[in-house]
Structure 1
Amino acid sequence: MACIYICDDEQGILRYLSKLLKTHGYAVESFTGGRSLLARLEAAPGVPALLLQDVRMPDLDGIEVLKRVRRLAPELPVVVMTAHGTVDDAVHAIKLGAYDYVMKPFPKEKILGVLARALEHRQLTEENRRLRDELQRGDDTPPVFASPRFRQVYDLTLQVAASDANILILGESGTGKELIARTVHGNSLRRSKPFVSLNCAALADSLLESQLFGHMRGAFTGAVLNQKGLLEEADGGTLFLDEIGDVSAAVQAKLLRVIQEKEFIPIGATRARTVDVRFVAATNRDLQQEVAEGRFREDLYYRLNVISLTIPPLRERPEDVAPLAHHFLRRFAARMKKEVHGIEPEALRSLGSYHWPGNVRELENVIERAVILARGSLLTADLLPVCSRPAPAPAADEAVPALSLDELERRHILGVYRHNGGHKSKTAEILGISRKTLDRKLAEYGVQ
């Protein structure tokens, strides 16, 4: 649901516009002056989809408000409202970057049309920027590794990238499945077309369908514009479906149709649209077991699993810990503009002896935290979280418990969860897993 901010010192205008826009499916926040509006934008500049503001206000001139809005939220489309005597101000506002203006009193069809066009313009601008960023970033930066295990995966990735077959990437959370997917795209014949990524576990079914297939205006409450889906955005390129094992049976059936027929129907549409997309899917689940237990369609599994790539967890390729740690160090030091150049041997030994249940993502979080806290030019062992330091060696007469990897994972997840006072979002971030995955793990462990 698009959120629109309205700023006008006339209470009657605010009430009329709020009621009108809410009736047509918009979320609305109202402000009686420029100062309160600017304070709200400073606190959360990315919240509104559009600003509708008066060009004349008593507490702060509307033109000055517009100038400050452009600095706080340069991408935010602004429509100004003006009376007959202030048209020159409205024209000046357009020159300063406002999208359009409407003259009071305005019929509801006029204002709704202007707002719809402004929102559609923003949507197109965001799509163009995203595609431009994808092309500029490129997908051919090789992964960082030193282990023979990962070398096998990387060589196979390059070998299969040139084909146009669908690929299923298997591996635990945080092992680098999206990086491998980008490597596939960057070394394929589709490299000049979009690479579009979607985390299937992060969205409810209804939102996932809308994101994938798009929707038509009026298809459901809040659908005020036609929305292109990610399938159309990825046309000619690659669509990466992360956590495909979390997709519902209904969405699985629709995905199967797209893969088989190369066509789909947006929500609320009556005609099918065709696309040419290469599918790369990833999951940390055992899909064969999911198929056997009836939770994942067997025909979809075989359509996606033309070629499979299995990424080993970080604990099975300890040779990669040091080069990855130095890679993340360089990245975060440059981003934070800090003079941190290396990692002390003791800290490297600690990193190398840890079992990394959160894999590469957990290592990345650990190094980012260490760079933030670093006061000198080297990362030291005391900057590492307690959970990433090796446990002290047991005494000679102390029995070492024989634990399975599943039990080690269970103890680590519960330890981090309790350490954070039961805060799920923070726990998931530290572990490098999605909130949905954490919920599933806690349910398995009997934590309510």
Structure 2
Amino acid sequence: MTNVNNNTLVYVVEDSHSSGALYCRQLEKAGFTTQHFFDGYSALAAIKKSMPDVIVQDVNLPDISGLEVLQFVKKQSKSAQVVIITSNSSIDIAVEAMRLGGFDFIEKPFSAARLVAAVINANKQTIKDLVTTCHKTEMASLPKQDFIGESLAMQTVFRLLISASRSKASVFITGESGTGKEVCAQTLHNAGARRQEPFIAINCAAIPAELFESEFFGHVRGAFSGALTERKGAVEVANGGTLFLDEICEMEFALQAKLLRFLQTGTFCKVGSNELQQSDVRIVCATNRNPSAEVGEGRFREDLYYRLNVIPIKLPPLRERTNDILLLAKHFLQSKSAENSKAFQQLSPEVEQFFLNYDWPGNIRELQNTIENIVVMHDSIVVSPSMLPSDFGHVQHAPLNNAPINNIKKSPSYAASSHHDIVPLWIVEKNTILSAIACCDGNIPLAAAYLGVSASTIYRKIKSWEQTDN
């Protein structure tokens, strides 16, 4: 039998003294704490004062119906699971009890095992509902800003952020470019105890190696040519707060050792000084590479990796967050319209379908930039396909057979009357795609939307046709 916590409280509402006493003995033997009530109003008063974990009640009470007790329970802010007992075999009562929120329905006579099993299962559901409510409350309290999502992958990320925000452990964020790694780090900082302290971000790929140590630890006057004044480094400025190291795998190998020493001791010296200083910072780092592969190739220190990778968070690419694409697009449309004093309110169904079909290789950054381009360049209430940027969906593309896309003519359709007339499938596909492009005046993203595929798929196929023709 499943172990039961003795603190699990069960109210038994049964007007029969002997039956109620029997149910209580059976449940107490299984490890539950029980309390017996002989009528509905007594049970209501006790429930209003203190909600139990589970309620077992007869549907036929001397004062009110057990279904009324059930309805009262389900209206409370904190509810319990209710197991209904009846000697009436009518299916109508069972259906009504379930409709009103009852957890289980058992008919007299029943065994002790059946009663205990029903209460154990009801208690499990009570615990599950409590955990779900706590998670939802915590999720709602997480300051997401532009870091939003409803997909299962993002709910996992949010739960990790909630757990990580309660500590000062190092966090290692991985993900493709444009997935929102810095926004994730900022969200983590805003959710933790250091939210009132600085959040300092350093892009390890953008700082020359010879200047990195100075940027990181600072320097004193005269430390090197051009050091005319003393300068605080990121470690000192971020004291008490969070230091975000973006593109950490781009850091020079020699500098990695100095970072490791700082992480181990919490102390540092400015360039040109022997004075030891201390700084209490939380390190959050990010990379679009595979850090373990970088360690295997000898480009990243293994000891530093394990020091930083205490809490790993992997951000999913946008193509794996289909449920979030329109959510993000509408969020950016609203915010960019407000910033630019525009009236945009929604996306047309065609644009929505295209956004859902597109692969988004540039991830959230590409989506945000696309929406901003549309808002800045156009004035309307609804985003239409014609407003999509002309280069949207590709960086550079050479038209098929070196002919302008707009000049591609609609290809003929084929109806085979014998096996000699059967056209290979790839040619049929090619003709269909070229026809769609022609119908859309050369707008490949729009054609892709109507075809129900991503624009990148069409570009790949056109490239393969070019190679075949050559």
Work out whether the TM-score is over 0.5. yes
CA shift for structure 1 position 387: 5.1
What residue is the counterpart of 2:425 in the other structure? 397
Counterpart CA distance in 1 for 2:220 and 2:385 is 55
Q: 1:194 to 1:139 in 2, by over 3 A?
A: farther
Counterpart CA distance in 2 for 1:350 and 1:302 is 42
Q: 1:349 to 1:387 in 2, by over 3 A?
A: farther
1:273 aligns with 2:301: no
What residue is the counterpart of 1:29 in the other structure? none
Q: How does 1:5-84 map to 2 (within 5 A)?
A: none
What residue is the counterpart of 1:302 in the other structure? 306
Q: Give, as a single letter, the amino acid of the residue that structure 2 aligns with 1:280.
A: V
What residue is the counterpart of 2:331 in the other structure? 327
Higher Cα Rg: structure 1 or 2? Answer: 2
1:164 aligns with 2:168: yes
Q: Give, as a single letter, the amino acid of the residue that structure 2 aligns with 1:397.
A: L
2:389 to 378, 385, 388: 385
User: 1:241 aligns to what SS in structure 2?
Assistant: strand
What residue is the counterpart of 1:264 in the other structure? 268
CA shift for structure 1 position 359: 0.5
Q: Give, as a single letter, the amino acid of the residue that structure 2 aligns with 1:270.
A: N
Q: Give, as a single letter, the amino acid of the residue that structure 1 aligns with 2:204.
A: C
User: 2:331 aligns to what SS in structure 1?
Assistant: helix
Counterpart CA distance in 2 for 1:171 and 1:284 is 5
What residue is the counterpart of 2:253 in the other structure? 249
1:285 to 289, 295, 298: 289
CA shift for structure 1 position 339: 1.5
2:235 to 224, 231, 234: 231
Indicate if the aligned counterparts of 2:343 and 2:379 stay in contact, CA closer than 8 A: no
Indicate if the aligned counterparts of 2:342 and 2:379 stay in contact, CA closer than 8 A: no
Q: How does 1:352-391 map to 2 (within 5 A)?
A: 352-386=356-390, 388=392
| Structure 2: runs of 5 or more not aligned | 1-141, 398-404, 406-410, 414-423, 431-470
Counterpart CA distance in 2 for 1:191 and 1:375 is 38
CA shift for structure 1 position 245: 0.7
Q: 1:186 to 1:158 in 2, by over 3 A?
A: same
CA shift for structure 1 position 332: 1.1
1:38-70: CA deviation from partner (whole Å, max 9, x where unpaired): xxxxxxxxxxxxxxxxxxxxxxxxxxxxxxxxx
Counterpart CA distance in 1 for 2:156 and 2:315 is 10
CA shift for structure 1 position 386: 4.6
What residue is the counterpart of 2:197 in the other structure? 193
CA shift for structure 1 position 378: 1.4
Indicate if the aligned counterparts of 1:139 and 1:182 stay in contact, CA closer than 8 A: no
Indicate if the aligned counterparts of 1:142 and 1:183 stay in contact, CA closer than 8 A: no
Q: Give, as a single letter, the amino acid of the residue that structure 2 aligns with 1:267.
A: V
Q: Aligned pair count?
A: 263
Counterpart CA distance in 1 for 2:205 and 2:143 is 23
Counterpart CA distance in 2 for 1:208 and 1:383 is 43
What residue is the counterpart of 1:213 in the other structure? 217
Counterpart CA distance in 2 for 1:387 and 1:140 is 31
User: 1:201 aligns to what SS in structure 2?
Assistant: coil
Counterpart CA distance in 1 for 2:323 and 2:388 is 19
| Structure 1: runs of 5 or more not aligned | 1-137, 402-448
Q: Give, as a single letter, the amino acid of the residue that structure 2 aligns with 1:362.
A: E
CA shift for structure 1 position 193: 1.1
Indicate if the aligned counterparts of 1:232 and 1:275 stay in contact, CA closer than 8 A: yes
Counterpart CA distance in 2 for 1:207 and 1:255 is 14
User: 2:356 aligns to what SS in structure 1?
Assistant: helix
CA shift for structure 1 position 211: 1.3
User: 1:360 aligns to what SS in structure 2?
Assistant: helix
CA RMSD of aligned residues (A): 2.4
Indicate if the aligned counterparts of 2:344 and 2:381 stay in contact, CA closer than 8 A: yes
User: 2:319 aligns to what SS in structure 1?
Assistant: helix
1:185-237: CA deviation from partner (whole Å, max 9, x where unpaired): 11212122111111111111122222111111111111111000010111011
Q: Give, as a single letter, the amino acid of the residue that structure 2 aligns with 1:289.
A: A
Counterpart CA distance in 2 for 1:366 and 1:189 is 35
User: 2:245 aligns to what SS in structure 1?
Assistant: strand
Counterpart CA distance in 1 for 2:318 and 2:226 is 44
What residue is the counterpart of 2:354 in the other structure? 350
Q: 1:139 to 1:271 in 2, by over 3 A?
A: farther
User: 2:150 aligns to what SS in structure 1?
Assistant: coil
Q: 1:140 to 1:147 in 2, by over 3 A?
A: closer
1:143 aligns with 2:172: no
CA shift for structure 1 position 140: 5.7
Counterpart CA distance in 2 for 1:161 and 1:398 is 53
Q: Give, as a single letter, the amino acid of the residue that structure 1 aligns with 2:250.
A: D
Q: Give, as a single letter, the amino acid of the residue that structure 2 aligns with 1:237.
A: G
Counterpart CA distance in 2 for 1:228 and 1:253 is 21
- State which drifts further: 208-217 or 377-386: 377-386
1:152 to 128, 153, 156: 156
User: 1:202 aligns to what SS in structure 2?
Assistant: coil
Indicate if the aligned counterparts of 1:158 and 1:187 stay in contact, CA closer than 8 A: yes
Indicate if the aligned counterparts of 1:265 and 1:273 stay in contact, CA closer than 8 A: yes
Counterpart CA distance in 2 for 1:190 and 1:376 is 42
What residue is the counterpart of 1:91 in the other structure? none
User: 1:184 aligns to what SS in structure 2?
Assistant: helix
What residue is the counterpart of 2:11 in the other structure? none
**Structure with the greater relative contact order (CA < 8 A, sep ≥ 6): 1 or 2?**
1
Indicate if the aligned counterparts of 1:332 and 1:371 stay in contact, CA closer than 8 A: yes
Counterpart CA distance in 1 for 2:351 and 2:190 is 34
CA shift for structure 1 position 388: 4.0
